[in-house]
Structures are given as C-alpha cells and as structure tokens.
Structure 1
Amino acid sequence: MQLFANQQTLRNEIINLAVSCGLSEPCYTNMLDYTIKLFESQGLGKDYYGYHNISHELEVTYVSLMVLKWKSILNNIRREDFKYLYAAALFHDFDPQKSVDKPHEENVIRFLTHDASVKKLCQDAEMDLDIIKALILRTAYPWKGELKEHAEEQIKLFFESSPITKGNKEMQDYYMQLGWLLSVVDRVSGYALGDFTKAMDMAKKNAHALAWHPSFIVKRSVAYFEDLLNNEAVMCETVLKALPKHMRKNFMDVVTGFLNLRQQEIKIQSEHIYENLRLVPKIESMKIREDPEFLQMLLDIYNELPTPLQFDKEHFEKTVKDQKTILNTLRLGSVDGPIIGFAKGGPLENYTLRPEIVDENYNKNNTIFLEPIALKMGYWGLHGGSEMRHLFTMQAHAMNYKYLTSFALRDVIEKRIEKHEKAEFVTKFDPERWDYYRIEL
C-alpha cells in the first residue's frame, strides 16, 4: 500500500507542504509541473520500467519538505535555504536522456546547465544554480572511492563559482551537510511512504533496471539498509526523527521485512546445499489448470515478478486455461508438493510485444513465446528456473514448434551462446539490457 493514491495527489500535497514552508510563490509550482511534464514526455512517468522515475523524484521532494516541516532537530537549516533543498530534491535525478536507469550525476548537472527553462525557473526563485548543483552532486551513491573524490572536485568548483560560498569554508561545510541530508532522504523516502509490498516492488524494479539476477534482490537490499543505518547512522537518525511516526514505522517495518526474508533465503539455501531440498518440475494437466485454487497459487507467484515482466496480466486466467498454452510448475519435494514457481508461454501470435521488436517469424505459426520464469522469493539461484525452462523447451519441441523466443538478461543470453546453445539476439534493449532472443529447437 502506498501513502498516495496517485501522482496528482502527491503533487498537490507537495504544493501544500511547500506553501507551509514559505515556498508559496508561483515559481515553485511551475518548477514542480515542469519536472513532471519533462519526465513524462521522456517516458519516465510512473509506468517507466526502472526505479528512478517521476514517482521517485516526487517522493524525495515530498519527504524533503516533510523534514523541513517537522524540523524539530533541524533548526540549523536557514529558512532562506528551504528553496534550495526543494529544488535540489526535485531536480536530483533530472536525466531525461538517461543511458542507464541510475542517473549519472554528471548528466544531471549537464542537463541543468544547458536547460533554458531550469535557468529561468531558478532566476524567478532567486536561486543560485551552482548551489543546487553542489547539493545534487552530494547525493552520489555510494559516497566513497573515486565516485566521492570526483564529486568533491566538482563541488569545489561550484562553491568557488557561487558568491554565496566563494572563499567561505563555513558556508561550504554547511551546504555539504545539507547535501548529505538530501542524500539520505533520497534513500529513505520511497520506503517511508508505503508498506513492504511497495518496498519490494521498488527493489524489484531497481534490480530489473540494474540487470541483477533476482537471487540478489534481498541480499543487496539488506546490505543497502545496513550501510544506511550503520555507516550513515547520524544523518539517518536525524532524518527519521524529523519524520512523523507513521513514516518512521513504515521505514523500519521495511528493514525488518527484508531481514526476515534474508533469513528465510539462507535457510532455504542451506537445505539445498545439504540436499534436503528437492525441486521437481511438473507438466500440469488441463484439468488442474481449471482449478480456481491452482490458478490463485500461480497468480500469487506471478505477482511477485517485477511489473515489466508481467505479460498480458489482464488475461492471465484465460491464458492458463488455453489449450495452446504450455505450462509447467516447480514443486517442492515431490510432484504433489507445494508450487514454488512456473513456466508459461504460448504461440508468438498471442502476444503483443514491444513495438521495437520485428520478429521475422511472426504470423508463421512456428514460434513459441516463453514468458519470464516466475519463482517465489527465496528460490532463485537454485537452478529450478533452468529446469522449468528445459522442460518447457522439450514440450515446445514435442508440439513441433521450430523456434522459441523469450526475454532474458543480456549476459545470460551471451553465456548460453558461449555454451553453444542455438541462441541468437533478435532485439537488444538499452539501458535495461533485458533482450529479446530466439533459439532454434
């Protein structure tokens, strides 16, 4: 569950909060609406495949204003700098031409430097764009190594360029603290504004966008939160204390949820290592595919997939019952054990794929399309997905299909080609690196 029903509601709440923080001039609403319009015109709206979409941008802005509003322990932020935190939050991922989902801070700075509308908006608000750029550069993550050193070099240049900070070490340190605050808000906001379901959806989108294997989602999420709570404890506590109680609870519930999931994963993996865990692929009969309880079990697992991998969701039940659909499941312990995953697909002609894909075999009725494999969290990385894929391939071959097409991570397809599978790329997609490929059966 999310705190806001839709983007319009969140926009209106941002405007209300901004006004309560003294940012009532029309330029601040114009800034907000320009950002929303630009993100949506570039395909970075709420339906964008990755994590860094307009929803994230607005959530960070909202939480930044909440921190200012509840500033019980933030009295050291000058009121005239509220507008800088607002603008930096709104623009921090301003990378409309992004080549990867995670915004490159240099690209953000370049865009802000050359965008005439941004310059005009900052002039209207009487803001120094160099200060905004410095704050955004401080959100670079992780703040260590070469990334940190390079960002610091650029920040120094902007500080020397701005009359507010030029030659003033005290003001430079002050804005670095403000940038650190924004950096932590950036990483806390989405998790403070919803329940564990929302958090998991964010984590899956992030994993999909960064081309991670699903087996890394929980492990890396736990590492992410541990880094935030341990290595940036001072600022993290500052931000959380400045938020209302229900938002603090949301965040800590999410952390606890991922820790519990990780414990479950470790238990499953240890059972697998000691060979106490048997994964059994099974071809399911048409009779059981009509069973409402069976359908609900599949749908629950299907809903765990990242949204971009849920093909033809509105017709899920209909396609499971379709005799032309190939379906096998992965069961725990035996052929009658609990279902923990499934592989599903059908004739290529039954699917509407991305418009960029031009498949020469479309309408030849010789190709089966395998939807993304669906597995319960905790069971990725145990080769159950591979077993279902191989069984699906055998079923397709038995039905006299000549080709199988599907989507997979680019490096996974490359490894299959290296192993001399008859696989080839049909269409590559950047920045996702989630590509459409074909194998000859």
Structure 2
Amino acid sequence: MDKTSQKGVALKSWIRDRVVFLAMIIFTSGAAMYIGSSKIFSPDSIWLHPVKEFCLLVSMIGVVSLGYELFLRELTFSQYKEALQEIVNPHAVRLGIQGIYKNRSELGQAHTFQKLFKKVKHEIFIGGTSLLSISTGSSELLREKVMSGVNVKLLLMDPQSEVVKLIMAQGGGKKTFFNEIKTSILLLQKLQEEIDESTSPNNGKLIIHTYQSIPSHSFISLDASESSGIIVADIGPYLGNNRPRPSMTMINKKGGLFDYYRDLNDALWEGSQPLKTEAQQLAGLKTRTQVFASGLETEYFDAQTEAWKPASICEGNDQWQGIKGSLWVWIREHITLEEAKTGSKNKFRLTFDIPPGKASSVGRAELFVRSDDTCHITVNDVSIRQEYGGAEYPDPFIIDFDKYLRDGTNTVTFEVINYAMPNVTSPEDNPTGLIYRLHLEMPES
C-alpha cells in the first residue's frame, strides 16, 4: 500500500474515532442535563418540561449518531436501502415481491410491455387464457424481439377443449370466449408465418403451445433462468373472463416466490401441446383475420376546426369494465367540470378497408362495444337503431353487422352522449368514454 492510501485510511480512521467520541459526548451530555434539570428547576417551573424535552432530543441525537457509526457506517447505500425495506415490509421483500397491483389497468400503468421487454436477453414466456391483448397490441414488439435473437414462448387455451365449452356455458352459451381464443390463434399464426419467412440467421424462435386444463393463472416470465429474471403473475386462479384479478411482480431472489412460479409455469408448458396446424382451419377455409381496437388510431370530430383528429386515451372510472386489447378513449384525457355538469355529445370513427369482391364473403363481423353514458352507432351511413352503454355491465354489447359492409373503405361512427348532471362537484362524478373492438374474418382467396 502506498503512502497516499495509508494516509487516506488513517485520516478516515482519525475522523471516525472522533465522531464516535463526539457522539458519546452528545449522548452523555444530553442524558446528564435531562437528569439534572429536575434539580436545577423547581417542579412548578414553566421551564422544566421544555428543558427536559430539549435534553432528551440531544441525547437521542447522540444515540442515533453513535449507532450509525458503530453499525451502519460500513454498509453500502443499496445494503442500507435493503435493510430499511426489510424493516418496512419484511415479508414482501423476503419473498422477492417488487409490486402488487389491484388489476390489469394498474399493472399496465406501472409496467408497459415496452418497458418489460426492453432488457430481455434470451427468453420471453407468456401464458394465459386467450392472449388476445398480446396478439392485438404487442405482435410487432414480439416480432422485434424474435428478430433480435430472443426466443418467445406463448401458451394459451385450446379453443376445442372441454374447459372452454364449460366457460362458455357459464357465460350463458355465448361464444365470446371461444372467438377471442380463435382470433388470437389466427393472429399469432400469421405472426409466426411472417417470422418463418425471414432468412436472418440471428432470429430467435416463436413457439406457440395450447393447453386443455383449467387455467390457473396468467403470467409473463422474462429470462427466468437468470439471476436478473422477472415474473409478472396473477394472484389467485382464473375466476371468469371479466373478473379483475390482482397481479404482482417478482424478482429472482433466493427463497422467494420466483422459484415457485417458475416451476409452475414450466409445468404448464410441459403439459401443453404444440399448436396444431388444423387450428388454422377453425373456420373451414383459410381465413384472414383483422382486429380493430379503440386506442390512438380512433378519431374524433373537432367541431371547432371541422376536422377529424386522433382521440386520446382517457382516464377511466374504477367501475368501468374493459374489453381485451382495447383502451377507453375520449376527445381528451380528462373531462372538465363544466362538461360534467352540462353533458356532452361527441363523434368518433373507425375506418377500415375490405378488398374488392370480399364484402359479401365476410364470415364474421362482430363489434364489441361499451360507452358511458351511451352511444349511437352508424355503419356506412346506416344507423343501427339502439343505444349502447354498458360501461359497468359484466359483458359488452356485441353487434353483428356484416350485412352493412361494402367493398372498399368502411366507416363506423360512434356518437357518444354523456348526460348532464348539474349538481356534480367534481368531473369524476360524471365520466364519459368509449371502448370497442371489431373482429373481421374473410377468406384469404
């Protein structure tokens, strides 16, 4: 060790010894003054209690300083932070839990797919029931990760399984759940075909499996075999298509929940089967599937400029139900108090194209929609005579309007109405918004 290093260590030791000595002096002085104040001041003196409290404070400063110098000086900041977390929430930290979220919306606000996937090096493993939000909203992101060499494993339910039939029976016999899985499979297979067509030697693999058991939980597992791995998982079992479930994020910590969920995820994968090629023919012919969901691509009509502009993702109400793969939209993120009192009426639109000669052969054109308070829908200038609200309903409205479609550009217009509430005192008392998802299926050729 050179002289400079020796001098630096000696200086630190000299300072520390004197800080410890000073802390002991502060503690001793404060304690002595606290004890002696009763002898200096009479019991009836107005100065007795203020002086004793001041002396006690001085003594506590000495104790804290002495304890820090003796026990915490050698800890790094991260070690000190971890120790503090252990004191505040020992069980969560011990189990490797980084965050708990009451529903998917809260989880999505804290962790977007872009942020979650950004640091992935080797593997993304996603499991759930239909994975519709993945297939509709994150397919391009998955494509980028596969093209960069990351392996992606996707696990979803087999639409032909008895469990799916049971879930549909519990929902009154509606095929909504079945159609969600079928649509997701078709979109994921299309993504897989596009990846397989690439000849890049650096590509990873996209592997899709299905399972037939009762769904236990949904999860996103990132680099689970590495020390930096992260798992996002539901807390509790699947309770139905529209039942919100809390979620949590876990890091790979020894003795924590991470290992349990990793083993559970691997067991689900081992009990699954590769997606059968027959699944491509679920609708009979080879089918082209398109999904249009409410979001930033939705437009609203600005009356001031008399032009259509991009809609905004709006702040939701806790009582609102969602639609998989879609977001609540309005003309702005927040409604004003004046608008909440007087009510409002705004138009939104969705446009899409159907190739020439294909409108008559559309096999499925289903629109899932909710709004608050209500909306009127027009398809290609043909008004559908019904009002559609249902923001808090367990199931969204489902509209089958293939008979309204035509070759070329098609337009669906939503007139969203929010009724006046003159006595409200906050904009949150009278929220408004629109959410939808459109499924289109037609033969490829």
TM-score range (shorter-chain normalised) is: under 0.3
- Between structure 1 and structure 2, the one with the greater Rg is 2
TM-score of the aligned structures, taking structure 2 as reference length:
0.22
Q: Structure 1 or 2: larger strand share?
A: 2
TM-score of the aligned structures, taking structure 1 as reference length:
0.22
